[in-house]
């Protein structure tokens, strides 16, 4: 259809969905274009032809190139007003075949869910996401559209994560950090003259695998990319559901020879590593500083700790660094800060941060 042929019918806003349904019955609705606001109480609905028996206010030409349809378009087709669309979620995440969204103050959440399924044809379920609570960090979710199947396999950067989003947490905002941990291991392994000191450097020099302790492994968020990059990982997780998926994901990613999983409290595992300490420790928990006294004896001299924390904006990165330095001083060890990263917003005024530190 040329620009001159792009027609639209102007109808009352509250008739939008009725008119679209009728146009689809008549094979006259133009899916390649979007419904556009026309005036205060009407919209312009794109058509390939104008049915003779359809009651409309006007027939107009829509100029400009077709654009990608977004959530607003699908909600507007359902008769949502601009004021209602302003309350719709601005972001969401597709995790495997499931869409995770915080609907916030949006009216009619089930229509938000249906619109997101239209927008993401690869998804079959939409979950409204609530808070993560409890000792095992369990998610609160509600099915608002689709089949209701919350179990899926999510793939990112070559790593496959099987999980049930109604049972275990998954943070899409940590994607870059998961990739980063795989890259850190890969880069250390590929260096011909590693800069590490202590046991890690000796292992790299002889071609041995780097040894890593993941103290809060979950379903394998960091364990899997590190194992795929060549590390041998001791993965500790006490949540029985997360641990079951950890075992499944180790098999799914074909790294069973590199991962030693333990269903336990990490403080019960670290004493066994003191005699043969690891090269790297990942502490992917917002209150990880509470476990530093258990972690450091398991870390070889010159080893690296990656500590996560939920930190008030005014204390980024001062507080987590002070906590690492204090724990190291208590253990009679020195600290070199290698890197700091702000991963994402944890809550209003609080940031999820990571500090990488070498413990001498």
Convert the pLDDT of each residue in 23-76 to its tens digit: 988 999 988 888 888 888 888 999 999 999 899 999 998 765 555 679 999 999
Domain layout of the chain by residue ranges: 3-67, 93-149, 172-359
Alpha helices, DSSP H, located in the chain: 16-25, 71-77, 82-85, 109-119, 175-190, 199-205, 223-228, 240-252, 266-273, 292-295, 318-330
pTM, to two decimals: 0.78
**Residue 21's pLDDT is what?**
85
**Residue 207's pLDDT is what?**
58
Same fold, 3-67 and 172-359: no
Convert the pLDDT of each residue in 221-272 to its tens digit: 999 999 999 999 999 999 999 999 999 999 999 999 999 999 999 999 999 9
Would you state the structure tokens that stand for residue 358, as one six-digit string? 């070498």
**Residue 63's pLDDT is what?**
65
**Residue 65's pLDDT is what?**
56
**Residue 88's pLDDT is what?**
97
Q: Please give the average per-residue pLDDT across 155-165, as a whole number.
A: 95
The answer to whether the annotation marks 25 as part of a ligand binding site is: no
Q: Which fold has domain 3-67?
A: Alpha-Beta Plaits (3.30.70)
pLDDT at 278 over 80: yes
Mean pLDDT over all residues of the chain?
90
The answer to whether the annotation marks 209 as part of a ligand binding site is: no
> In this structure, are residues 10 and 64 in contact, taking their beta carbons and an 8 Å threshold?
no
Instruction: Provide, rounded to the nearest whole percent, the portion of the chain with pLDDT above 70.
Output: 92
Q: How far apart are CA 315 and CA 35, in angstroms?
A: 47
DSSP three-state, residue 318: helix
Q: Please give the average per-residue pLDDT across 293-321, as a whole number.
A: 97
The answer to whether the annotation marks 49 as part of a ligand binding site is: no
> In this structure, are residues 66 and 13 in contact, taking their beta carbons and an 8 Å threshold?
no
CATH code, residues 93-149: 3.30.300.110
> Could you say which architecture CATH assigns to the domain 172-359?
3-Layer(aba) Sandwich (3.40)
**Residue 334's pLDDT is what?**
97
Q: Which of 175, 101, 188 is nearest to 145 (CA)?
A: 101
């Amino acid at each position: 259809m040329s620009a001159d042929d792009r027609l639209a019918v102007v109808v009352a806003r509250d008739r939008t969905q009725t008119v679209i349904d009728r146009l689809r019955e008549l094979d006259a609705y133009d899916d390649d274009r979007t419904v556009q606001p026309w005036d205060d109480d009407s919209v312009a609905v794109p058509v390939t032809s104008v049915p003779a028996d359809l009651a409309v206010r006007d027939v107009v030409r829509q100029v400009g190139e077709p654009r990608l349809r977004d959530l607003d378009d699908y909600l507007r087709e359902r008769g949502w007003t601009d004021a209602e669309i302003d309350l719709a979620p601005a972001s969401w995440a597709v995790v495997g075949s499931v869409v995770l969204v915080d609907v916030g103050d949006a009216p009619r959440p089930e229509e938000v869910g249906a619109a997101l399924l239209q927008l993401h044809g690869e998804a079959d379920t939409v979950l409204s996401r609530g808070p993560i609570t409890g000792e095992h960090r369990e998610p609160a979710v509600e099915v608002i559209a689709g089949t209701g199947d919350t179990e899926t396999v999510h793939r990112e950067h070559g790593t496959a994560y099987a999980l049930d989003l109604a049972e275990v947490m998954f943070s899409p905002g940590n994607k870059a950090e998961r990739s980063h941990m795989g890259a850190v291991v890969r880069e250390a392994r590929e260096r011909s003259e590693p800069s590490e000191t202590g046991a890690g450097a000796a292992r790299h020099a002889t071609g041995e695998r780097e040894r890593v302790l993941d103290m809060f492994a979950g379903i394998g968020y960091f364990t899997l990319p590190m194992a795929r990059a060549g590390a041998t990982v001791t993965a500790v997780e006490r949540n029985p559901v997360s641990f079951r998926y950890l075992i499944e994901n180790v098999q799914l990613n074909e790294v069973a020879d590199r991962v030693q999983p333990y269903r336990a409290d990490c403080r019960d595992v670290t004493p066994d590593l003191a005699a043969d300490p690891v090269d790297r420790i990942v502490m992917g928990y917002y209150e990880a500083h509470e476990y530093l006294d258990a972690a450091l004896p398991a870390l070889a001299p010159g080893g690296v700790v990656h500590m996560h924390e939920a930190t008030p904006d005014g204390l980024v990165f001062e507080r987590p660094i002070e906590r690492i330095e204090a724990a190291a001083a208590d253990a009679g060890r020195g600290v070199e800060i290698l890197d700091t990263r702000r991963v994402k917003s944890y809550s209003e005024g609080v940031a999820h941060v990571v500090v990488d530190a070498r413990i001498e």
